[in-house]
Amino acid sequence: MHFLDFEKPVAELESKIEELRHLSDADGMNIAEEVGRLQQKVEKQLRAVYAKLTPWQKTQVARHPERPHCLDYIKALFTDVTPLAGDRLYGEDQAIVGGLARFRGQAVVVMGQEKGHDTDTRLRHNFGMAMPEGYRKAQRLMDLADRFRLPVLTLVDTAGAYPGVGAEERGQAEAIARTIQAGLNLRVPMITCVIGEGGSGGAIAIATGNVVMMLEHAIYSVISPEGCASILWRSGEMAQQAAEALRLTAQDLLEFKVIDEVIPEPLGGAHRDRHAMFEQLGAAFEGHLRELTPVEGGVLRARRREKFLRMGREGLN
């Protein structure tokens, strides 16, 4: 297990438990009682630490290398998964994955940014930083969903759209803009969850849902804390302060009414109990789908537009 800096006390306890287990294996001693006691301590520690994570700590949890990523959720929650590839214009970008699938029996289109979990997959998925091709594939999938009346489920997890020469030449800005437009124009339910990092324009491109949820320790921001710090503080080392100032936690966004729901994570973050996390998000998707599926297409579109149009004028509260 990869431990974050602020998880040090937990890490120590867990290594003690591990040692004891080895001892008991070797000597046949019964130390169950001691292990149980230590495990309670671990839980207490985790509860204490995770109850008051700072925005910067949440940023680290959201980027935790063992945090479940888009494809993990797709594998766990969907059946008949049929990935679709390519934007029919230039290429195939695996930073955004998606396709046709069934969610608890219901035919849907699912898509999201995939960061990868080891060197191989990280490179294949370009660390979840999409090119214009990725966004144009997303548009294609949205159009498909619209034509065949399939709800769209999106899983957002990206540091941002890829900043590169090719991406600019092929119209990164235009690709993102059109994807936002495509999402807002859908006449089918669109349900979004930010599962890790919601990085700026690259994230909102596929985050224009009728319902937008965030996992408890996910972040969603106009700019990364590091980027913000280097511009406004002129020092990347002020990222911690920038994370505070940006108000990028799920709890902040709920308060601003930018998102509709915060999905609780298992104790110690999604990576500590993946299956519980999958279940939790699955239940949330199911609830919203049940509610939105009967709603007429034009109404879905109008409501979605209204919802985003409100973010500013009537403001907050």
Partner 1 sequence: MNWLTTFVRPKIRSLVGSKEVPENLWRKCPACDHMLFHKELEKSWQVCSHCGHHMRLPVRKRLELLFDGGTWTPIELPPIPQDPLKFKDLKRYSDRMKEAQAKTGEKEAIIVAHGWLMGIPVVVAAFDFSFMGGSMGMAVGEGLVAAAELAVLQRASLIVIPASGGARMQEGILSLMQMARTTVAVQRVKDAGLPYMVLLTDPTTGGVTASFAMLGDIAISEPGAVIGFAGARVIQNTIRETLPDGFQRAEYLRDHGMVDLVVNRADLKATLGRILSILLRRDPPAEVLALSLDADSGRSGTRATPPAGDVEEAARRDGQAEAHDEAEPEEDEA
Number of residues interacting with partner 1: please give it, by CB under 8 A.
Answer: 53
User: Which helix (H) or strand (E) covers residue 219, if one does?
Assistant: strand 219-221
Taking CB under 8 A as the criterion, the residue among 66, 147, 256, 275 binding partner 1 is 256
From 35, 245, 267, 276, residue interacting with partner 1 (rule: CB under 8 A): 245
SS3 (DSSP) at 295: coil
* Sole binder of partner 1 in the list 252, 262, 265, 270 (CB under 8 A): 252
DSSP symbol at 2: P
- Region of 14-22, 69-77, 225-233, 264-272 interacting with partner 1 (CB under 8 A): 225-233
Strand duo 78-83 + 96-103: pairing:
antiparallel
Computed from CA positions of residues 138, 68, 189, 260, in that sequence, does the dihedral angle turn out positive or negative? Answer: negative
What part of residues 75-104 is at the interface with partner 1 (CB under 8 A)?
none
Residue 272 CA to residue 216 CA, distance in Å, equals 14
258 makes contact with partner 1 (CB under 8 A)? yes
Phi-psi group of 53: left, alpha or beta (phi > 0 → left; psi -120 to 50 → alpha; rest → beta): beta
Query: Among the residues of the chain, which ranges form H helices?
Result: 8-27, 32-51, 55-62, 70-77, 119-124, 132-147, 165-169, 172-185, 200-204, 225-228, 239-246, 250-255, 274-292, 297-313
- Shortest distance (Å) from residue 200 CB to partner 1: 6
Closest to partner 1 by CB, 42 vs 204, is: 204
Binding mask 174-213 for partner 1 (x = CB under 8 A): x-xxx-xx--xx--------------xx--xx--x-----
Q: Which of residues 116-175 bind partner 1 (CB under 8 A)?
A: 161-165, 167-174
Give the shortest CB-165-to-partner 1 separation in angstroms: 6
Give the contacts of 92 (CB within 8 A, at least 6 positions apart).
85, 86, 133, 137
Q: Give the binding site for partner 1 (CB under 8 A).
A: 161-165, 167-174, 176-178, 180-181, 184-185, 200-201, 204-205, 208, 220-223, 227-228, 231-234, 241-242, 245-248, 252-253, 256, 258, 305, 308-309, 311-313, 315-316
